Chain A
Amino acid sequence: MIHISLQKILNTAQNLMTLNIELALERGQFATLYGASGAGKTSTLRMLAGLMKPDEGQIIVNDKTWVDTDKGINLPPQQRRVGLVFQDYALFPNMTVRKNLEYALTRRQKPDIVDELMDMIELSELQDRKPGTLSGGQKQRVALARALVQRPDILLLDEPLSALDSKIRIKLQDYLQKVHRQYGLTTILVSHDIPEVFKLSDQVYVLEDGVVARQGSPAEVFGYGQMSGKFRFTGEVLEIRKEEVVYIVTVLIGTNVVKVIAQESEIAGLKVGDQVMVASKAFNPVIQRVGE
């Protein structure tokens, strides 16, 4: 079990915001912190990693106290078993891919894990390259592998895929899923990409203005628990076109472009770029806006 209870006054661009977060995660869970930018997601992650000091609160990970402000405990990042993947990779430019991974090894650790991870995340061919010569997706794979070298208790992912295009993003999501299962990790992802949240997470915490506004499974949180669909996918609206009496909505689902027929009432409030769910109820597909 991982108990997190944190308070911190944050100085954001607009004003002061009080972050007040309570989370209880099961071991082995894939949890997502979802919310608009400035809602406190990254700050929560930084406090978990020990890079930011909470004003008050506790973090207890598998019966070990990482933070307890009442007792004056705040372990430095070095003493917490976390792996952290940054949005902009943070690879060491002076080291090759292999050296980046080897740097993360602890003194007592066997170096086998480096090869194991490079096999799993398919980095072996890149091992002698420097980060400067890699593409964004390759860099993020290296960063992911590097974060796993120490076999962390918690893997923290700070919007790791938001800078990547959708094709590479989907491939990296597969890697994330794979390592999460393989190593029995407890993973906390910061994301604002609903399809990604759906695909990866068991539990979603929606952060609004520094507090957890809603939580539950992705389906519960994003409001399609009520619908009994035969199939359902989430995607992004590419185009809305009127054709005679109906509308044709073109939706990008994963890498597939799907056309859905919709009534005027269904497309009300829908615009290009919206996240939607496409579901089938008996015969006719239903299209509905998702998110808050």
Chain B
Amino acid sequence: MEWQPLILTFQLALVTTVFLLIIGIPLAWWLAYTNRKTKAVVETLVTMPLVLPPTVLGFYLLVAFSPANAFGSWLDEWLGIRFIFTFEGLVLASIIYSLPFMVQPVQSGLANLPSQLREASYVMGKSGMTTLFKVLLPNIKPSLLTGIVLSFAHTIGEFGVVLMIGGNIPGKTKVASIAIYDEVEALNYSAANMYSIILFAITFLILLSVYLLNGGYFKSAGR
């Protein structure tokens, strides 16, 4: 067994979670307070990775970013970014794949705060940004923690989408879940078992700590 796939897995989960915080919080904020009709569409798109087979997502990403077509080659030529069979590609796919796990807890946390908190802050002359960071987010810490941990844990557990867009390149895209599959195919069960047991233990500990701290996802989401 090598440590590389495990380290890569946690790197991926960490980077993905950081990006999801940056993308997910404004999105959740918009979804929680908008009255626009487009809300339903955006909400649907954000939620779809929950029900869609990961291979579908992976397949379309593969097609979209393939250097063989216009968009993929444009990215490659002008920006020098390649998403196919690279770590960057894994990050992009993971962000989309884990988006609902960040957005939904934060959105429901915000929506459940009394609207007077926002209004009081606005009447005091504070901007939406100040209100979000000083008033709203500090009061939904359990929801934020839930979002962060679920995104992180869910990214660790990715398989299908990673396999489709990342392939199996050691040190670049070979994450632990792929390594397990690889070892099993090679009938190397003891190595597969090592990876599995480590992933099992770590995800167990992460989720346990959240449930202990938070009293559970459903409790914090329903507050």
Contacts and interface: CB of A to CB of B under 8 A. Distances in A.
Contacts of B116: 86, 88, 90
B198 interface: no
B139 A94 contact: yes
Contacts of B122: 50-51, 76-78
A92 to B, nearest CB: 5
B123 A83 contact: yes
Contact of B123 (A49, A88, A93, A94): A49
A106 B123 CA distance: 12
A81 to B, nearest CB: 9
A51 B139 contact: no
B80 interface: no
B119 A51 contact: yes
B127 interface: yes
Nearest to B128: A78
21 contacts: A50-B122, A51-B122, A51-B123, A76-B122, A77-B123, A78-B123, A78-B126, A82-B123, A84-B119, A84-B123, A86-B116, A86-B120, A90-B116, A90-B120, A92-B120, A92-B135, A92-B139, A94-B139, A103-B134, A146-B120, A146-B124
B114 A88 contact: yes
Interface in B94-148: 114, 116-117, 119-127, 134-135, 138-139
Nearest to B134: A103
A150 interface: yes
Contacts of A2: none
Contacts of B124: 103-104, 146, 149-150
A77 B128 CA distance: 11
Interface residues of A, number: 23
Interface of A: 49-51, 76-80, 82-84, 86, 88, 90, 92-94, 103-104, 106, 146, 149-150
Q: Which 4 A-B pairs have the closest CB atoms?
A: A90-B116, A94-B138, A90-B120, A77-B122
Nearest to A87: B116
Contacts of B117: 90, 92
Interface string B162-179: 000000000000000000
Contacts of A83: 123
Contact of A90 (B114, B125, B126): B114
Contact residues of A: prevailing secondary structure = loop
Given A78-B125, A78-B126, A150-B125, A84 B135 contact: no
User: Chain B contact residues (Cβ within 8 angstroms of A): what range?
Assistant: 10 to 19
Nearest to B140: A94
Given A80-B123, A150-B124, 8 more contacts: A78-B126, A88-B114, A90-B114, A92-B135, A92-B139, A94-B139, A103-B135, A146-B120
Contacts of A77: 119, 122-123, 125
A285 B135 CA distance: 55
B135 A94 contact: yes
A56 to B, nearest CB: 21
Contacts of A150: 124-125
B114 A78 contact: no
Nearest to A90: B116
A244 to B, nearest CB: 54
Given A51-B119, A86-B120, A90-B116, A106 B125 contact: yes
A17 B191 CA distance: 72
A83 B125 CA distance: 10
Contacts of A78: 122-123, 125-127
Nearest to B125: A78
Nearest to B113: A93
Contacts of A51: 119, 122-123
A76 B121 CA distance: 12
B126 to A, nearest CB: 7
Contacts of B134: 103
A82 B122 CA distance: 10
A146 B117 CA distance: 13
A92 B139 CA distance: 8
A104 B117 CA distance: 13
Chain A CB within 10 Å — which of B124, B126, B127 has the most?
B124
A288 to B, nearest CB: 39
A83 B121 CA distance: 11
B97 to A, nearest CB: 32
Contacts of A92: 117, 120-121, 135, 139
Nearest to B122: A77
